[in-house]
């Protein structure tokens, strides 16, 4: 059995009474559980092997927070789908907030708490294989969608997002709900502006693995149901279904035409998901496949010992 991951967190936040120490005492190794952390706090994470940084990228309301809430829910209640065991997290409160957001979204409650611009965005989880061995840490950056909205027009905000620049895996979210209407040019223009600004500032590294995720695709099926409502002839039903399918294909291609000149994303890294699709024993297969790619797939090649994204991230603040 491999040695367990040793987690230490020293963020300058007061420790619980049981873990407080007198001045001059050596740091006591213990696991603290806080809300999501700020970028500068991530330097306090340590483990027996280099963590993997997964950065969620996208403008507001594209489903990033619901996505990470669903991932944590699956790890807790149905981890065998990910061939993993949940070991620990220093940010349980942050995850639970996102699980709650996912729940509200699932119930169709629109007035849900959003990730604030200045709120902590860093979440971490330690997972092992099905036997609890081969433990590793995955760190998620769930930056506010509103912050990405601001970055679409401001270079100074773009260059501050070091979690994008040093990501091992960067997941670009596209909101299918905003693509479906006939008037979707404003949304696509915002997406193009955001990607162009990050690319122009050298924030997309060549050694990052990129994923493109079309979220909320369950709404396409809803559109299909509306289109065939009241139609009895099978040929007409099939024709309407094909119309909706072709419309979605065109919308999807219009996004690919925006992304492709800026970022090379392999076809295997393009997903269509519903981030709320975690009904027990009826989970969205695309969502589960993406979760697996992000947390259980073989880790990227080790970096040089001289390169440490955590130290760089803090140093540049």
> Residue 43's pLDDT is what?
62
Strand ranges across the sheet with 52-57: 85-88, 122-128, 136-142, 52-57, 169-175, 209-215, 270-272
Predicted confidence at residue 110, as pLDDT, reads 53
With cut-offs at 50, 70 and 90, classify the pLDDT of residue 49: confident
The per-residue pLDDT for range 62-80, each reduced to its tens digit, is 989 889 989 988 998 899 9
The two beta strands, 209-215 and 270-272, are parallel
Task: Record the pTM.
Answer: 0.79
Q: What pLDDT band is residue 121 in, cutting at 50, 70 and 90?
A: confident
**Two structure tokens written together for 14:** 């007061």
The Cα 43–Cα 305 span in angstroms is 16
CA-nearest of 209, 124, 118, 166 to 310 is 166
- pLDDT, residue 246, reads 95
pLDDT mean over 250-262: 97
Q: So what's the pLDDT on residue 88?
A: 86
Distance of CA 218 to the CA centre of its chain: 19
* Best CA proximity match to 37, nearest among 95, 106, 91: 91
Calculate mean pLDDT across residues 203-232: 94
Q: What pLDDT band is residue 306 in, cutting at 50, 70 and 90?
A: very low
- pLDDT surpassing 50 at residue 84: yes
Lowest mean per-residue pLDDT among 47-61, 178-192, 265-279: 47-61
pLDDT value, residue 37: 65
* Separation between Cα atoms, residue 271 and residue 211, nearest integer Å: 8
- Which pLDDT belongs to residue 122? 85
Round to whole Å and give the CA distance between 241 and 235: 10
- The sign of the CA dihedral 290, 296, 301, 302 is positive
pLDDT of res. 3: 34
Calculate mean pLDDT across residues 253-272.
Answer: 97
Q: In terms of pLDDT, which residue wins out, 171 or 32? A: 171
Which of residues 60 and 97 earns the better pLDDT score? 60
- How far apart are the C-alpha atoms of 150 and 194, rounded to whole Å? 9
- Mean local confidence (pLDDT), 159-185: 93
Which pLDDT band holds residue 108 (cuts at 50, 70, 90)? Answer: low
What integer pLDDT is reported at residue 32 of this predicted model? 44
Average pLDDT, integer, range 291-314: 62
Residues 242, 225: Cα–Cα separation, whole Å: 12
The superfamily CATH assigns to domain 17-214+259-303 is P-loop containing nucleotide triphosphate hydrolases (3.40.50.300)
- pLDDT for res 46: 57
Query: Where do the structural domains in the chain lie, given as residue ranges?
Result: 17-214+259-303
pLDDT at 35 over 70: no
List, in sequence order, every beta strand (DSSP E) within 35-183.
52-57, 85-88, 122-128, 136-142, 169-175
Q: Which residue has the higher pLDDT, 141 or 89?
A: 141
| Rounded-to-integer distance, Cα 34 and Cα 13, Å | 9
């Amino acid at each position: 059995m491999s040695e367990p991951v040793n987690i230490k967190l020293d963020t300058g936040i007061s420790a619980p009474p049981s873990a407080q120490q007198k001045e001059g005492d050596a740091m006591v190794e213990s696991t603290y559980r806080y809300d999501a952390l700020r970028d500068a706090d991530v330097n306090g994470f340590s483990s027996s092997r280099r963590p993997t940084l997964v950065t969620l990228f996208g403008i507001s309301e594209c489903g990033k927070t619901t996505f990470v809430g669903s991932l944590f829910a699956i790890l807790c209640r149905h981890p065998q789908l990910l061939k993993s065991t949940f070991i620990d997290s220093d940010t349980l409160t942050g995850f639970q907030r996102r699980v709650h957001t996912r729940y509200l979204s699932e119930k169709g409650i629109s007035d849900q708490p959003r990730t604030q611009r200045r709120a902590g965005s860093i979440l971490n989880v330690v997972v092992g294989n099905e036997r609890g061995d081969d433990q590793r840490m995955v760190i998620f950056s769930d930056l506010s969608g509103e912050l990405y909205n601001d970055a679409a027009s401001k270079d100074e905000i773009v260059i501050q997002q070091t979690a994008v620049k040093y990501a091992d895996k960067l997941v670009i979210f596209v909101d299918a709900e905003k693509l479906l209407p006939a008037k979707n040019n404003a949304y696509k223009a915002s997406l193009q502006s955001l990607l162009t600004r990050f690319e122009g500032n050298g924030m997309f590294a060549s050694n990052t693995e990129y994923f493109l995720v079309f979220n909320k695709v369950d709404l396409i099926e809803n559109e299909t149901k509306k289109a065939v409502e009241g139609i009895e002839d099978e040929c007409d039903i099939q024709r309407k279904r094909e119309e909706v399918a072709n419309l979605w294909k065109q919308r999807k291609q219009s996004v690919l035409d925006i992304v492709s000149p800026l970022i090379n994303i392999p076809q295997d890294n393009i997903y269509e998901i519903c981030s709320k699709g975690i009904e027990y024993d009826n989970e969205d297969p695309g969502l589960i496949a993406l979760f697996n790619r992000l947390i259980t797939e073989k880790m990227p090649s080790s970096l040089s010992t001289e390169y440490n994204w955590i130290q760089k991230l803090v140093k540049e603040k």
